[in-house]
Structure 1
Amino acid sequence: MRLPTLMVAALCLAMTMSSAYAGIGLGTQRSVGGVMIAPDGSVRAATAEEQKEMAQVVRNAMEAPTGELAQAADRRVISLNGLQAKLKEAHESGQHLDTETMFLAGMQRIEYVIVDQENNDILLAGPAEPWMVRPDGHVVGTETGGSVLRLDDLVTAFRSVETARNNGGILCSIEPTPEGRVRLQNFLKNVKLRPGQNPAYLEAGMRQAFGPQQILLGGVATDSRFARTLVAADFEMKRIAMGLTQSPVAGLPSYLELAKNQVQSSVSTPRWWMASDYEPVARDEEGRVWKISGQGVKTLTEDDTFDKQGNVRATGRKNALASKWADMMTEQFEELSRERPVFRDLRNAMDLAVIATLITQQQLDHKSGIDLSVLRGNDSHVELASYEMPKTLEPQCSFVKGRAGWTVTASGGVNVNAFAVSENPVTDETLGSIAAASDASSRWWWDGK
């Protein structure tokens, strides 16, 4: 029997800060919400007509929430046993999964992991909402506008735990090449601006000298939607920081606006990256109920310097203005993620990495007696869709001319260290009162109290 490809990535975030959708006959992946991307890494803004067409494709491919799914819930509960049974059923029948399974019953966040020893199960609980398709193709909750959790990201998170452990976490960055840095420095050596001359006319030549930027990924399958989310969020963060796209949040100007007319270092350049940001994981005394809390994502910065060969090293120092911008993005993250759902997608991916790592690291599957082989990919019941990840992108960078030299803002990244979040839990006696009894209908999800 030929295994069906479960198009849980049918609604897949593509690589440039917007949603990409593939599978269920959705056609080319070059067209994504707001952006057109080719396999060679070239990127351009999608036209209004292209965005409209993409959103319609998504609407045609998914089912609208009905019944209880059409109502928001403060605490919806997912049974991992029931979810795996649903996946096995789809495998055996040769059918694609329904929308409610792909969107994990509309879950917005997972706040609790509950060990259900009586039923040899693990339960995931948190708020949920009905879903809708935005005009740019993103699938979000109707109440808060936050991106909905995805099954394919959960599966990828489980399958990435050991890879991430061996890699020091899940890492992503978009970096200039050493050769590009050298070419740029040689280009700038010959630049002499006359008093009052606008340096903007040099930027085309500077980008050409800089050349393509590398996409570097580790700790997660590079052909997964999860990986594309990391790259997309990194890409969009850099574009906002460098003023290459308009910030959608009034309280978050670009770094270039902050740095205008300020002293710029000629030997170092700021780097920003997004990292995990959680409170210590809490558990009850018996280790039956675990709570995950915190914003999930923060922005950090550090100055980089590079040698004559273009090789970069971290300085351990922070540029005051770059730190200010990082703090502003962290403070504005919730609003930013509503306006640009790719950042909420990033937090969702981080949340699911924390959940999968917590279950594995604390051996909650052994404590409950559940076999998670379906989600972990130890059998062939779930075959995720695969997406080509370009290895390079056309240069996305800005240049600031200051009184001491040029600053090139081009580096960024994402660092998901789920092990640090889950390894030192604290005890919270109040968690013993959290209950999520199984639903009488034996569904794989239900609304709890």
Structure 2
Amino acid sequence: MSAHSHAAQVLLFADYHMKLIGMGIVDGIDGMPSYLETVQILADGSPPPMSILRWWFSMQYEPVGVTPARDFYSLRGQGVQVLSENEILAAQGKRIHTRPSDELNKQFADSFTAHFEEIAKRYPIYEELRNLFDIALILSLVEQEGLREQVGWHGTWFADRNALGLPRMDIPTTVETVVNHRILNRKYLVAGISGGVWID
């Protein structure tokens, strides 16, 4: 995928916007609190432990439907989900993936996934993201099933980026850090900081 394509722009904007919702800077939908809103003082009155959080989009499909003759396929499932994990900060600032998520971190990711349809209606960027995921799965299906060879389609224009003449998008190489905070019990300041978008 070209770093200057519309697809790259959608992946970047959707990921960054999701983090704005998570930090409570942009409204989500009714019944879906931001991550920062769920942080509370512990039962013993101490502040909650804070760690490095990671959220990212991933595909969420059920097995592809197919007819017995394998001449008709259908995509099933929502298509998009948000996953999460906690990270730790090692010496010299290196971030280490731990895989498990704490309860609040996972709660935000699960809530975003559960409310995805409603969020996508409010913010069309997420419908565009789902379209990209659909196209990616369809292209993978075409390749794995040998569908091009079966119908004698060579994909001449689609296989040549220069021949297709797609517009070159100006995609940001840096994004502003997402920062928000809450004051708990008039005593503790809890800050949420998110920065960076990784597209793999």
Task: Please state which band the TM-score falls in when normalised by the shorter chain.
Answer: 0.7 to 0.9
Do 1:301 and 1:326's aligned partners in 2 also have CA atoms closer than 8 Å?
yes
Change (3 A) 1:300 1:415: farther
Instruction: Give the Å deviation of 1:413.
Output: 5.4
Rounded to whole Å, the distance in 2 between the matches of 1:358 and 1:376 is 16
- Specify the alignment match of 2:92 in structure 1: 309
Rounded to whole Å, the distance in 1 between the matches of 2:41 and 2:134 is 40
Instruction: Give the Å deviation of 1:408.
Output: 3.7
- Specify the alignment match of 2:102 in structure 1: 319
Q: How does 1:125-136 map to 2 (within 5 A)?
A: none
Rounded to whole Å, the distance in 1 between the matches of 2:27 and 2:199 is 25
Change (3 A) 1:282 1:276: same
Q: How does 1:68-147 map to 2 (within 5 A)?
A: none
Do 2:177 and 2:195's aligned partners in 1 also have CA atoms closer than 8 Å?
no
Change (3 A) 1:357 1:384: same
Rounded to whole Å, the distance in 1 between the matches of 2:118 and 2:13 is 18
Instruction: Give the Å deviation of 1:415.
Output: 6.9
Rounded to whole Å, the distance in 2 between the matches of 1:271 and 1:310 is 16
The structure 2 residue matched to 1:383, chosen from 165, 168, 189, is: 165
Q: Paired residues, what number?
A: 194
Unpaired stretches in structure 1, ≥5 consecutive residues: 1-219, 417-449
Do 2:57 and 2:82's aligned partners in 1 also have CA atoms closer than 8 Å?
yes
Instruction: Give the Å deviation of 1:253.
Output: 1.5
Of 229-238 and 401-410, more deviation after overlay is shown by 401-410
Kindly provide the amino acid, as one letter, of the partner of residue 178 in structure 2. Answer: Q
Rounded to whole Å, the distance in 2 between the matches of 1:408 and 1:366 is 51
Rounded to whole Å, the distance in 2 between the matches of 1:412 and 1:261 is 28
Kindly provide the amino acid, as one letter, of the partner of residue 222 in structure 1. Answer: A
Rounded to whole Å, the distance in 2 between the matches of 1:269 and 1:306 is 8
Do 2:179 and 2:191's aligned partners in 1 also have CA atoms closer than 8 Å?
no
Change (3 A) 1:342 1:378: closer
Any idea what SS the aligned residue of 2:56 has? strand
Instruction: Give the Å deviation of 1:397.
Output: 2.5
Summarize deviations over 1:273-317 as a string: whole Å, max 9, x none.
Answer: 111000111222232111211100011111011113111111122
Rounded to whole Å, the distance in 2 between the matches of 1:383 and 1:372 is 14
Runs of 4+ in 1 over 4 A off after TM superposition: 399-407, 411-416
Rounded to whole Å, the distance in 1 between the matches of 2:40 and 2:175 is 27
Change (3 A) 1:294 1:327: same
Q: TM-score, structure 2 length as denominator? A: 0.86
Change (3 A) 1:414 1:327: farther
- Specify the alignment match of 1:264 in structure 2: 48
Instruction: Give the Å deviation of 1:361.
Output: 2.2
Do 1:398 and 1:410's aligned partners in 2 also have CA atoms closer than 8 Å?
no
Do 1:397 and 1:410's aligned partners in 2 also have CA atoms closer than 8 Å?
yes
Do 2:79 and 2:134's aligned partners in 1 also have CA atoms closer than 8 Å?
yes
Rounded to whole Å, the distance in 2 between the matches of 1:250 and 1:323 is 19
Change (3 A) 1:415 1:392: closer
Rounded to whole Å, the distance in 1 between the matches of 2:36 and 2:104 is 10
- CA RMSD of superposed structures (Å): 2.5
Question: Percent identical across equivalent pairs?
Answer: 29
Unpaired stretches in structure 2, ≥5 consecutive residues: none
Q: How does 1:261-410 map to 2 (within 5 A)?
A: 261-262=41-42, 263-266=47-50, 268-377=51-160, 380=163, 382-399=164-181, 408-410=192-194
The structure 2 residue matched to 1:230, chosen from 11, 27, 41, is: 11
Instruction: Give the Å deviation of 1:369.
Output: 1.5
Rounded to whole Å, the distance in 2 between the matches of 1:412 and 1:303 is 16
